[in-house]
Structure 1
Amino acid sequence: MTTKRRFFTDEFKREAVALLESSGRPLEHVAKDLGIQPSMLRTWRRRVSGPGGPAQVPTKQAPAPLAAGDQSAEIARLKRELDRVRMERDILENCEHFLGASEMRFRIVEDCRDEYPVRVLCDALGVSPSGYYAWRTRPESPRQAANRQLLDDIRRLHADHRERYGAPRIHAALRAQGRTVSRGRVERLMHRHGLRAQRPRAFRVCTTDSNHALPIAPNLLDRNFTPTAPNQVWLTDITYVPTAAGWLYLAVVLDLFSRKAIGWAMRDHLRTELPLAALTMALQRQRPAPGLLHPSDRGCQYASAAYRKALKSHGITPSMSCKGNCWDNAPMESFFGSLKSELVHHHRYATREDAKRDLFGYIEGYYNRQRLHSAIGYITPEQAERQAA
């Protein structure tokens, strides 16, 4: 396939060399900015600044002075040429890591044709417009048709989960629907079409007050995060949600086996009543046998007499993490991280009631019943609990 030869005026060459000499930047960097090959700029520099000193690029005839109207037309032409060079540079910078066979370059032209002219895209990527249009009118191959259908399914799942799913969960969801597709193929399609999970950086405010003289339970869990059945280990912790009306505090009890949020409570305070309400919900829903292990941090709420009394009355053994070590409660931290990055950080709540509605919908309607969890084999917490029953 022949590549169309690009044309540069003598003035463009002189200005390119002048930019190189005045900028003090490496030749390769200047060439990349202008969308040309370094060898071309090197040749132009030799012609302009040869051994005998500065010289002009040979021209057939010295240009005559331009009239006012002709000057405006020439300036407009130079602006168009500069815009074209800038577009080519932007295209190469955005697509350099994709460049490969002509098939891939044609796909880039197809994806970017609404943003840049087709001819500019083809020139920048080193393919001909006629080749692109010939590729575009070819009959769709079975592989292309399969990829198009797969991409539709990926986009549907991505939208259904409010852009919370990346390639691993999208792949697991497709497999659960009976689609035999490799994870690498899903990753390539998502990367090519800009589909990714939303993961803003979380900002953590500590809600733990461990500066107290209340009894501290030993660390019995000791990072053993692999129970063999539900209702053996219940994790718990408290986090915060910002609203315009002030903080909303959320306490959650998590079954470590299924990663299901089995108890939760939301209040505008951090008193013991908050985590106690979450524990009460979990006890009412699960009705565990005595001997359950209940890890928490060293917060005063969990060390309080009321909380310890509730645990003792149900035969539950408390366990507290080491001081200042979040890894002892890592699955609970992971749950709050997902809740913040997938929900809270995408909203600005005017009232605590607004936040409560969203949190309830996420925990009960999405996390427990729809969201595939990587730690339990990409199934939902509800499925994990049912399979163990």
Structure 2
Amino acid sequence: MCDGGKKRRLAPEKRRRIVELVRSGRSVGALAREIGVSEQTVRNWVRQSDLDEGRRSDGMTSEARAELRRLKRENKRLRMERDILKRAGGLVREGERLDPRRGYAFMKAHRALFPIAAMCRVLRLSRSGYYDWLKRPPSARAQRDLELQALILPVWTGSKETYGAPRIHAALRAAGERVSRKRVARLMQGLGIQGVTRRRPSTAMRRKIAQARYAPDLVKRDFSADGPNQLWVADITQVSIRYGWLYLAVVLDVWSRRIVGWATESHPRTELVETALAKAVSNRKPEGGLIHHSDRGVQYTSLAFATLRCELIHRRRFAPGWNAWHEIRNYIENFYNTRRIHSAIGYNSPADFEKLNHAA
């Protein structure tokens, strides 16, 4: 070691000279003291020289080590470029020229995560152009964009990262902000955020649905109601948990889109649906004339529950038991019924829609 506790670095030709001296019989300890390094460092030089010259084969040569370092740097660079593109979302499209102002805004928002040079390379923008853009005073439109982005992000996170541009636009309009849906979509792209999208049911579930017998269609595919407790639709779906599946049955009031009853079990048998329906009846106490609809016998497959699947069930794999039940309960009772807005009911939450219409 040299002064200050730093490792002393010798030029390659000097290290080779030390190796030759060791091979000629000089003491490793004496040489180490003479040049100010540890004995182990000298031994490492000798060992590496033996590997490079083919005297031994129990390690990597200097050339192989250099190649490995190069590959690691390349892999790190590619991962960074992938992450930049992922964050950019729909900002970059093949065959289209990126608006520099949008690209520079993205770079400014993500400069704590990625080097400016890397973002310029991936987005094909000028580094000098970015720094020139930073010096310019923001336009009134740019200032308004920043204000709106500061409002958009809390709405998106508050929706459990599920809302897309239409619902965020509706939430902003409800809060008194005048903004177009297209502008909201553009600003979300600049933030690198997006809503969740639906996907098809699993092959196993589609097979079960296809094999299930039909139940009478009392609503003639007219999924509308003029008031509460007139039409309930039900569904049963699979929830992926560690080591297996949990089954969730829900009953939804079509009028307000509120989930009025739900239950979970380790099986999809009739008792599960009966439990969910019993809870719905207990919660709502409906009078005569209520229609309880399901598409296919005991395997409920109503499309009304695509929201629940894509926003909660398909986005994660739950731990078994209480944790899965707790997460489902939190989503239904504390988000879906009380805060999640629906286009079918004027971009209100089920609870707000019922209050506005004086639901019993």
Q: Contact 1:234–1:254 (CA<8 Å) still a contact in 2? A: yes
Q: Distance between the aligned counterparts of 1:183 and 1:277, measured in 2?
A: 41
Q: CA deviation at 1:250?
A: 1.3
Q: Distance between the aligned counterparts of 2:303 and 2:178, measured in 1?
A: 33
Counterpart of 1:292 in structure 2 is 290
Q: Distance between the aligned counterparts of 2:260 and 2:319, measured in 1?
A: 27
Q: Distance between the aligned counterparts of 2:246 and 2:94, measured in 1?
A: 47
Q: 1:330 aligns with which of 278, 303, 319?
A: 303
Q: TM-score, normalised by structure 1?
A: 0.60
Q: Distance between the aligned counterparts of 1:119 and 1:290, measured in 2?
A: 64
Q: Distance between the aligned counterparts of 1:265 and 1:249, measured in 2?
A: 8
Counterpart of 1:312 in structure 2 is none
Q: 1:379 aligns with which of 329, 348, 355?
A: 348
Counterpart of 1:4 in structure 2 is none
The 1:179–1:275 alpha-carbon spacing in structure 2 relative to 1, beyond 3 Å, is same
Counterpart of 1:172 in structure 2 is 170
**Residues 95-117 of structure 1: CA deviation (Å, up to 9, x unaligned):** 76663666456546646764342
Q: Distance between the aligned counterparts of 1:139 and 1:105, measured in 2?
A: 17
The answer to whether residue 332 in structure 2 is matched with residue 363 in structure 1 is yes
Counterpart of 2:312 in structure 1 is 343
**Residues 108-166 of structure 1: CA deviation (Å, up to 9, x unaligned):** 664676434289659954x582x543331122333222211110111111112221111
The 1:376–1:275 alpha-carbon spacing in structure 2 relative to 1, beyond 3 Å, is same
Q: What is the one-letter code of the residue matched to 1:240?
A: Q
Q: Contact 1:109–1:121 (CA<8 Å) still a contact in 2? A: no
Counterpart of 2:272 in structure 1 is 274
Aligned residues: 270
Q: TM-score, normalised by structure 2?
A: 0.65
Counterpart of 1:263 in structure 2 is 261
Q: Contact 1:253–1:263 (CA<8 Å) still a contact in 2? A: yes
Counterpart of 1:117 in structure 2 is 117
Q: Contact 1:208–1:299 (CA<8 Å) still a contact in 2? A: no
SS at match of 1:253: strand
SS at match of 2:217: coil
Q: 1:354 aligns with which of 304, 308, 323?
A: 323
Counterpart of 2:247 in structure 1 is 249
The 1:165–1:122 alpha-carbon spacing in structure 2 relative to 1, beyond 3 Å, is closer
Q: What is the one-letter code of the residue matched to 2:239?
A: V
Q: What is the one-letter code of the residue matched to 1:255?
A: D
Q: What is the one-letter code of the residue matched to 1:167?
A: A
Counterpart of 1:31 in structure 2 is none
Q: Distance between the aligned counterparts of 2:272 and 2:312, measured in 1?
A: 22
Q: Contact 1:106–1:135 (CA<8 Å) still a contact in 2? A: yes
SS at match of 1:159: helix
Q: Distance between the aligned counterparts of 1:116 and 1:134, measured in 2?
A: 13
SS at match of 2:238: strand
Q: Contact 2:262–2:279 (CA<8 Å) still a contact in 1? A: yes
Q: Contact 1:98–1:104 (CA<8 Å) still a contact in 2? A: no
Q: Distance between the aligned counterparts of 2:119 and 2:289, measured in 1?
A: 73
Q: Distance between the aligned counterparts of 2:151 and 2:123, measured in 1?
A: 34
Q: Distance between the aligned counterparts of 1:217 and 1:105, measured in 2?
A: 54
Q: Contact 2:103–2:123 (CA<8 Å) still a contact in 1? A: no
Q: Distance between the aligned counterparts of 2:239 and 2:118, measured in 1?
A: 48
**Residues 219-253 of structure 1: CA deviation (Å, up to 9, x unaligned):** 22111122111111011121121223432211111
Q: Distance between the aligned counterparts of 1:105 and 1:240, measured in 2?
A: 41
Q: Distance between the aligned counterparts of 2:339 and 2:109, measured in 1?
A: 32
SS at match of 1:117: helix
SS at match of 1:266: strand
Q: CA deviation at 1:257?
A: 0.8
Give 5+ residue unaligned stretches, structure 2: 1-69, 71-76, 86-90
The answer to whether residue 185 in structure 2 is matched with residue 187 in structure 1 is yes
Counterpart of 1:232 in structure 2 is 230
SS at match of 2:167: helix
SS at match of 2:170: helix
Q: Distance between the aligned counterparts of 2:322 and 2:150, measured in 1?
A: 36
Q: Distance between the aligned counterparts of 1:351 and 1:101, measured in 2?
A: 47
- Identity among equivalent pairs (%): 39
SS at match of 2:196: coil
The 1:100–1:339 alpha-carbon spacing in structure 2 relative to 1, beyond 3 Å, is closer
Q: What is the one-letter code of the residue matched to 1:192?
A: G
Q: Distance between the aligned counterparts of 2:233 and 2:334, measured in 1?
A: 21
The 1:220–1:141 alpha-carbon spacing in structure 2 relative to 1, beyond 3 Å, is same
Q: What is the one-letter code of the residue matched to 2:348?
A: I
Q: Distance between the aligned counterparts of 1:192 and 1:344, measured in 2?
A: 28
The 1:240–1:116 alpha-carbon spacing in structure 2 relative to 1, beyond 3 Å, is same
Q: 2:134 aligns with which of 133, 136, 149?
A: 136
Q: What is the one-letter code of the residue matched to 2:184?
A: V
Q: Contact 1:230–1:388 (CA<8 Å) still a contact in 2? A: no
Q: Distance between the aligned counterparts of 2:289 and 2:147, measured in 1?
A: 51
The 1:97–1:175 alpha-carbon spacing in structure 2 relative to 1, beyond 3 Å, is farther
